Structure 1
Amino acid sequence: MHNRQSQKATLVSQATINALVNQPVHTITPDRGKEFAKHQEITDHLKATIYFPPPRQPWQRGSNENTNGLLREYFPKGSDTNQWDNQYIQTKVAKLNLRPRKCLNWRTPYEVYYQKVLQLV
């Protein structure tokens, strides 16, 4: 693996582990990018199974693709994330986590994760 790609894969692996280490993770389904080349490190640390969908079949990752589309409302593809401060990012993350989703039976990700019911009007 090219050194730059290896460094990126190491960063992605470490960021994934750091973000999910104390979370109830059973499976992870990333895209097929080279940045996930060190997926075994993630599996070893998190004890989670990683599934890679077949190439050019994004419909097998429907929730992921939908979430990417929602993120693009606030963070256009190819934009430099350094242009936004942490407060802006956290505000948008909270907004997305409080948005009801059809795939969650119209509950919000917040409600599902924290097993709480919100009365959103």
Structure 2
Amino acid sequence: FRNNDRRSKPIMNQLIHHLAPLPVNARQSLTFDRGLEFTSWRELQIGMGTAAWFCDPQAPWQKGTLENTNKRVRRYLPSETIVLNVTDQDIRALCERLNDTPRKCLNFWTPKEAFRQHVLAMST
């Protein structure tokens, strides 16, 4: 989902919409950087009982997976890309591509496979 104006409440509402159907154990907490788009973090606790945590300023190692994913995204959307010109369909296709790419850190499973397996294990 997009957030062209960087307002926080729509982001939290979208997170709740997409994550609330997951088992409670799969959405116990989320970790954010200190961007303005996350100032309504309390909505997560109210909306679905999810705690929010924040990385320390200037500490990218605290969100290593996110930094790695950003690097992968930049292969397809270089930093000079005007994001407003990227369609929702393009973003969905990129998400699918990233989630369907096997990762060494997941024993060569795709993120989609690993997530599905993890959620299934929680449900049984």
For normalisation by structure 2, the TM-score amounts to: 0.74
Within the candidate set 27, 41, 44, 2:43 is matched to 41
Tell me, in whole angstroms, the C-alpha distance in 2 between the residues paired with 1:87 and 1:34: 26
Give 1:106 deviation, angstroms.
2.3
Give 1:65 deviation, angstroms.
0.9
Give 1:45 deviation, angstroms.
1.3
Tell me, in whole angstroms, the C-alpha distance in 1 between the residues paired with 2:102 and 2:54: 27
* Aligned ranges 1:37-76 → 2 under 5 Å: 37-76=39-78
Tell me, in whole angstroms, the C-alpha distance in 2 between the residues paired with 1:47 and 1:62: 25
* Alignment check: 8 A CA contact 2:34 2:54 kept: yes
**Partner AA of 1:26 in structure 2:** Q
Change (3 A) 1:17 1:83: same
Matched residue of 2:54: which SS? coil
Which ranges in structure 1 are unaligned for 5 or more consecutive residues? 117-121
Deviation larger for 54-63 or 92-101: 92-101
State, as a whole percentage, how many aligned pairs show the same letter: 32
What's the RMSD between the two structures over aligned residues? 2.4
**Partner AA of 1:57 in structure 2:** A
Deviations 1:23-54 (A, max 9, x none): 33122111111221110101221212211111
Change (3 A) 1:51 1:109: same
The one of the two structures with greater contact order (alpha-carbon pairs below 8 A, sep at least 6) is 2
Change (3 A) 1:84 1:54: closer
Tell me, in whole angstroms, the C-alpha distance in 1 between the residues paired with 2:73 and 2:51: 25
For normalisation by structure 1, the TM-score amounts to: 0.76
